[in-house]
Amino acid sequence: MPKRISLTRYLVEQQRMDGHIPSQLRLLLEVVARACKRISQAVNKGALGEVMGSAESENVQGEVQKKLDIIANEVLIEANEWGGHLAAMASEEMEGIYVVPNRYPQGEYLLMFDPLDGSSNIDVNVSIGTIFSVLLKPEGVGVSEQDFLQPGGKQVAAGYCVYGPQTTLVLTVGDGVAVFTLDREQGSFLLTEENLRVPEDTKEFAINMSNQRHWAAPVQKYVDECLQGKDGSRGKDFNMRWVGSMVADVHRILTRGGVFMYPWDRREPEKPGKLRLMYEANPMSWLIEQAGGAATDGKQRIMDITPTQLHERVSVFMGSKNEVERVTRYHREA
């Protein structure tokens, strides 16, 4: 068995050798990883831990909250609020920002997260995850929601933890993508892959096909061509996968290629898409780009979008570069 490097050592080396991350950011990422371990334990207990089912509340998006959504949100806040590395946090499960209480020291970072992505899969024992994104707070006194409204290109760290057959943490600090697997006996994340690459071409796409009749013409055209396979203009057969947890679908694509799409559709025409820009699309876009893939909203690079609201939504096309370029081209030509 090879001797594995722990997440702690990986981060120390990033700080020491490459000067990629300041010590406060290293501390922050360690704390996020610790919180993910706690969430992983709760997920693992399932019905034995009374964490299944719905709570009697809705989040700001009007979605019914699952008990685990709330537990994961609390775990992330409690783990991160006292360390002195953060100024504030924002989450899918909270309407406004959570400013670090003044009984604790204030740090210079902003943390955003989707504490439990793929909520509809909790009760059926299918992979779910936590997605996170870190920004630097702009200079100035205090902290406000406005400070969070920075394009994804300003992220200083991003990642996710997927709670599946294994618990896997995937991270970028702008120096490629590293993968850590949770060793439950040791209780630590160990580096299992570095410099992940997404193949430029693929024969696999991921989209919720039940929404087909609601899509715009460019998405119809792209998926139609995939479905025609060898009999159509693409000259190859495509396979389709849809877990219904963005973390799991994007993890598959980071591992073996593919294209993930959650486009705008006519069900809610006033919304640009279902997924949230700041704590779902941006961190995933950066990971995908760091692995050599691409991520657009159909027209522009997702990470170039300047958000105007915390819970802003966006259309998403990400994964293997040549496929993302093709579906983006169809949008531009339309």
Q: CB of residue 318 vs Mg ion: minimum separation in angstroms?
A: 14
Residue 183 labeled ligand binder: no
Q: Which stretch binds Mg ion (CB under 5 A): 112-120, 141-149, 172-180, 296-304?
A: 112-120
Tell whether residue 93 is a contact of Mg ion (CB under 5 A).
no
# binding residues, Mg ion (CB under 5 A):
2
One-character DSSP codes across 41-92: HHHHHGGGGT--SEEEEE-TTSPEEEHHHHHHHHHHHHHHSSSSSEEEEEET
> By the 8 A CB rule, do 163 and 40 touch?
yes
CB nearer to ligand AHM: give 70 or 136. 70
Tell whether residue 114 is a contact of Mg ion (CB under 5 A).
yes
Residue 195 labeled ligand binder: no
CB nearer to ligand AHM: give 209 or 334. 209
CB nearer to Mg ion: give 114 or 297. 114
Q: CB of residue 278 vs Mg ion: minimum separation in angstroms?
A: 11
Calculate the CA dihedral of residues 133, 183, 51, 255 and round it to 10 degrees: 50
Contacting residues for 273 by C-beta, under 8 A, at least 6 apart: 262, 263, 264, 297, 313, 314, 315, 316
- Contact residues: ligand AHM, CB under 6 A: 63, 92, 114, 117-120, 208, 244-246, 249, 262
Residue nearest to Mg ion (CB): 117
Residue 118 labeled ligand binder: yes
208's contact among Mg ion, ligand AHM, none, with CB below 5 to 8 A by partner kind, is ligand AHM
Residue 274 labeled ligand binder: yes
CB nearer to ligand AHM: give 117 or 289. 117
> By the 8 A CB rule, do 169 and 36 touch?
yes
CB nearer to ligand AHM: give 11 or 246. 246
One-character DSSP codes across 178-190: EEEEEETTTTEEE
> By the 8 A CB rule, do 137 and 110 touch?
yes
> By the 8 A CB rule, do 73 and 115 touch?
yes
Partners of residue 193 on adjacent β-strands: 179
Residue nearest to ligand AHM (CB): 246
> By the 8 A CB rule, do 245 and 260 touch?
no
Using CB under 5 A as the criterion, which residues of the chain lie in contact with Mg ion when the complex forms?
A: 114, 117
